[in-house]
Amino acid sequence: MEKERPFLKKIDLNRYGVEKHGTMNVEGLLFLDDELLKVLGTDESITQVENVASLPGIVHASMAMPDIHWGYGFPIGGVAAFDADQGVVSPGGVGYDINCGVRLMRSSLSVKDAGTRIKEIIEGFYLNVPSGIGSRRKDLRLSREELRKVVQKGAQWAIEQGYGTGDDLEYIDDKGQFAHADPDNLSERAYERGREQLGTLGSGNHFVEIGYIAEVFDREIAQAFGLFENQITIMIHTGSRGLGYQVCDDYIREMVKTSAKYGITLPDRQLCCAPVTSPEGRAYLSAMAGAANYAFANRQLITHWVRETMEAVFRKSRGSLGLTLVYDVCHNTAKIEKHRVQGKDMTLCVHRKGATRAFGPGNPSIPEKYKAVGQPVLIPGDMGRASYVLAGTKQAMEETFGSTCHGAGRVMSRSQAKRSSKGRSIQKEMEARNIHVRAASRETLAEEMPEAYKDVSKVVRVVHDAGISRIVAKIIPLGSIKG
């Protein structure tokens, strides 16, 4: 059953607008087609888009991507930018898994080269990368001082410890380090939770997946990204683990009081916030940056163990296997960026919650190798269908602050998925599709069954047709490990 939405108006085949009403300061802009709108049903995420539009200092529009679904405060798939001088920053606009992100590695291997080794590769990943709720590494227990360095340096710390090379840093958002991180603004509890979790996958929809390029849609961009048909790829999806969760939790508690202190009226208590320029706002941004750096380091360490696994299976060096980084993109961040809004250059605090940066060609933040074609955008789907590689566009820079979707988006809660899968063996169903999966528990596989998600092909088609990113290649999974 669809929810009645009197202020929702269709703009074109891939966009809906929400007219300003009530306390909204700007309109809502939804990247949805008719089918994906129907999928939302009674989901309250569009109401959340309206609530975000009521926050002080928001510019242009409160936006949502086609993978939108209900979240804490902001919808997942939400994008909002606030004037850095007059606007606010909200932990709910980033989320609990700070810098949950995706990393794509290419190889020189073809599907034929991988042959019958997929099961061996997945078993190797499962042994080398701890996964599941509360997963820890027994061989990497960091001191408090060393963990502070991780929070400051991000992926650079991992490279300094021998987990990869300097070339990797070139192909990570912000070169794997948010420079404004302040270790002093993280709580003791955050450090405690993060001490033994670096280099682990965690739970939920996080994964390490081996797949192959099944189809190339844009050969010029694919060539620039080093991708070709039937090529073996590896995708890593994880974030800042318990450390990031604790940072969010700590600052939400603080900002409930902070909102009242600055006289900010909240349409939803979960949108608690602080002025970007306030001591509380700056403290949160620096703590969030520290958690983001932890996530960068986490994905870098997992990359190292993925490479070691592949070397062991194929008995070749990572160089001869061509195991290099295509790119690493963040979800779940709030960043100070410069954008042009209605002909005026502005410094903004851009919140992307379950949304991906998609900077267009020529942007100075893009690696030199990709400047002519735009930033790689990595869109994971569910474990049974497909994932996509996209590229950022000029249109995204003009309309969405250089942002696009981040994944398929859930259509079932985790409890709904478990109920729906009762009496089924999701693992056997995946094997029937020639996809080998390993997970920390049967419950995880049930929660992550393909039907729990929207069809990612339909999601990326909307952002492609809307012009805010361009489809480059389709990846079909061969096997994955799940949290």
To the query of whether residue 69 is one of the catalytic residues in this protein, the response is no
Active-site pick, 69, 206, 331, 406: 406
Q: Return the pLDDT at 135.
A: 65
Q: Return the pLDDT at 133.
A: 64
Q: Return the pLDDT at 138.
A: 57
- pTM check: above 0.85: yes
Alpha carbon dihedral 301, 303, 309, 314, in 10-degree steps, equals: -150
| Structural domains present in the chain | 8-482 (3.90.1860.10)
Interior/surface letters 280-304, b for 16+ CB within 10 angstroms, e for the rest: bbbbbbbbbbbbbbbbbbbbbbbbb
Write out pLDDT tens, residues 435-450: 888 887 777 777 777 7
Q: Return the pLDDT at 341.
A: 94
C-alpha–C-alpha distance, residues 425 and 427, integer Å: 5
Write out pLDDT tens, residues 181-226: 999 999 999 999 999 899 999 877 899 999 999 999 999 999 999 9
Q: Return the pLDDT at 137.
A: 62
- What H or E segment, with its residue span, contains residue 37? helix 34-40
Q: Return the pLDDT at 136.
A: 63
- What is the mean pLDDT, run by run of 10 residues, along the chain of 483 residues? 80 98 98 95 93 98 97 97 98 97 98 94 92 66 93 97 94 97 98 93 88 98 98 97 97 95 96 98 98 98 96 96 98 96 95 97 97 97 88 98 91 76 77 82 75 87 98 96 84
What does DSSP say about strands 207-216 and 231-238: parallel, antiparallel, or unpaired? Answer: antiparallel
Compute the C-alpha angle 42/48/51, nearest 5°: 135
Strand boundaries in 84-163, DSSP class E: 88-89, 101-110
